[in-house]
Structure formats: structure tokens, C-alpha cells
Amino acid sequence: MAILKKASETAKKHGLIGGFAIFLAVVSFSSPEFLTPGNILDVIRQVSITGMIAIGVTFVVITGRLDLSVGSMLTLLTVLVVDQHNQVGPAIAIAYTLFASLLIGIVNGYLIGFMRLNSLIVTLAMLSLLQGATLFYSGGSNVNVTNPQETWFRFFGRSEFVDIPVPVWIFFFSALVGSFVLLKTNFGRWVFSIGGNETASLFSGVQTRGVVLIAYVISGFGTGLAAIIMGSRVMGAQSTIGQGYELTVLSGIILGGTSMLGGSGTIWRTVIGVTMLGFVQNGLLLLGFAYYVQWLVTWAVIILAVWIDLAAKRGRVFV
């Protein structure tokens, strides 16, 4: 039993990291370009969009709630910023996009925080609403930036600063700000408190409804930033461009160790989780696996990570 208990503790603390290290070794042996500086930067640039969303959603998950609307939100906001870029210019288009992201966050936060509705149901309904709004707004047609080589809007998704892609810088500084807010402010402490014991937080004087609302506003704002990066990188948008991102975001957050039960997690863990998932997906493609295999692996990652999280709460993994 002592050996089993020790194995259980090891699995809880280092199981996913160990599995990831083995995966890196196997892929780098089979594909030498996997761990080259160029590919590493490409992966981080790719995950920066997912990561921007995940930073905001981490606040929501720590409160013990979910936000499954971010994929459709990303689609609508990307279509919006690209279309408005052509009509009113990049600066006003960005302002419109960020305003819309805050508005969606407020609606989600009000329904869940003040109306006390279930976060799963509300955000699933919002997912459907936003997808419908996207199709209504765009008419189901693709939108593209006119004269993409002549607009400064390309800076957010295609430019580099000291040989590092700008999206990576935006991702890094957003993580710094998010981590500071979560760990060094009263608001961050309230977020953890609500996720740990909402009833006790309420009786301790924490304005739980307002904190939950702000958490969803942060989630919406992060998605708005991601949409700007996405539109700038692709210089266009489709009515399905954000499809599946809610699953990828949630996978990265769980993989980083943020508890689905609320009350624990950090921004930097989310950054690590999203980055790990990005390398897994990139490695599978380099190994020649079909694209759909990524979804199967993502499913397996979610199941394994949630199992380990729940097992850690119970105090055992194997028994």
C-alpha cells in the first residue's frame, strides 16, 4: 500500500508533466525540426490567440464557473473587427471590438452573477446567440481586409519586435497583468475566495455578484484582444473561425492545473497548459497524424486532467 500511495502522489504532482516530457522526446527524435527556435516561436505565436482567451477564462474557472461562449465570441468579434476595418478604419474598428467584448462579458456576468443562472446553460445559450449574430451580420460570407499590406492593423498579428512575434509579446504582457491582478489585488483574493467557498465569502462581506460579473468581463475582454490578433494575422474572417476554441481553451486551463471545482489555479499555469497543448498539437502534425487526431488527443487530455484534479481533491488517484 505504501508503494501504491507513493505512486498516487507522484501521479497527482508530476503525471502530466512527465507524460509531456516523454512526448517531447519522442517527437524531437522523430522530427528534428520540432524543437528548433523557429518552430518554437511559431507554436507560441499560434497559441497566443488561445492563450489570450484562456487568461480571461481562468478568472471565471477559479470562481467555480465556466465560459463556453468564447469560441463563438471570437468568431463574431473577428468578423466585426475585419469588417469595420474596411468601413471606418482600424482604430475605430478595434474600439468597437473591445466595446462589444466588454458588453458580451457584462451580459454573461449579469445573468450568472446577479440572476444566479447556471454558467453552463447561460454560456451555451450565448454561444448559440453569438453564432447566429455572426451569420446575421456577415450574411454567411467571408470578410477580408482590403489592402492588407498597406494597413498598420497588420502589426498585431504579423509583425515582430526584436525578432519575436508581436502576438507573443501581447500574450506575455497580458499574462503578467493577469497574474498581478489575480495574486496581488483584493479582487484576485475575492476570486479565489468565491471559488473556494462562495457562501463563506458572501458572509465575509465579499460582493460575490459583482466579482463574478467582473470575471466574465475580463473573459470577454481577453477574447476581444484575441480577435484583434486573429483578424490581424489572417487579414480576414470566416463565420466558423472560432469554432472549437472553447474546448481548446478549457483544455489548456485544465492541463495547467486550474481546478474545475474552483478556488485554485494561476495565470502562469494556464500559460504553461496552453503552451503544452500547442506543442502536442504541433508535434502530432509533424509526425504526420491527421488534423482530427488533435481533437481525440484534446479529449484524452481533458479526461486525464480532470481525473487527476478530482483525485487530488479526494486524496487518491488509483484507489
We report the CATH number of the domain holding residue 253 as 1.10.3470
Read off the pLDDT of each residue in 138-147 and give the average, rounded to a whole number.
89
For residue 62 the three cell numbers come to 477559479
For the chain, the farthest-separated pair of C-alpha atoms sits apart, in whole angstroms, at: 68
Read off the pLDDT of each residue in 9-25 and give the average, rounded to a whole number.
65
Which residue from 234, 175, 227, 181 is spatially nearest to 51, judged by alpha carbons?
175
% of the chain beyond a pLDDT of 90: 63
Identify the pLDDT of residue 4: 47
Higher pLDDT, 13 or 211: 211
Read off the pLDDT of each residue in 84-96 and give the average, rounded to a whole number.
95
Query: How does DSSP assign 137-184, residue by residue?
Result: HHTT--EE-SSTTS-GGGHHHH-EETTEEHHHHHHHHHHHHHHHHHHH
11 found inside a domain: no
319 found inside a domain: no
**Listed ranges 19-23, 140-144, 227-231, 241-245; the one with the highest mean pLDDT:** 227-231
User: What is the domain extent for residue 249?
Assistant: 18-314
CB 39 within 8 A of CB 47: no
Average pLDDT of the chain, as a whole number? 88
13 found inside a domain: no
Query: Domain count of the chain?
Result: 1
263 found inside a domain: yes
Read off the pLDDT of residues 250-266 as tens digits, 9 standing for 90 and up.
Answer: 988 988 888 888 898 99
222 found inside a domain: yes
Identify the pLDDT of residue 253: 92
227 found inside a domain: yes
Banded model confidence at residue 44, pLDDT cuts 50, 70, 90: very high
The angle formed by the CA atoms of residues 92, 267 and 25, to the nearest 5 degrees, is 110
89 found inside a domain: yes
65 found inside a domain: yes
**Listed ranges 2-16, 105-119, 298-312; the one with the highest mean pLDDT:** 105-119
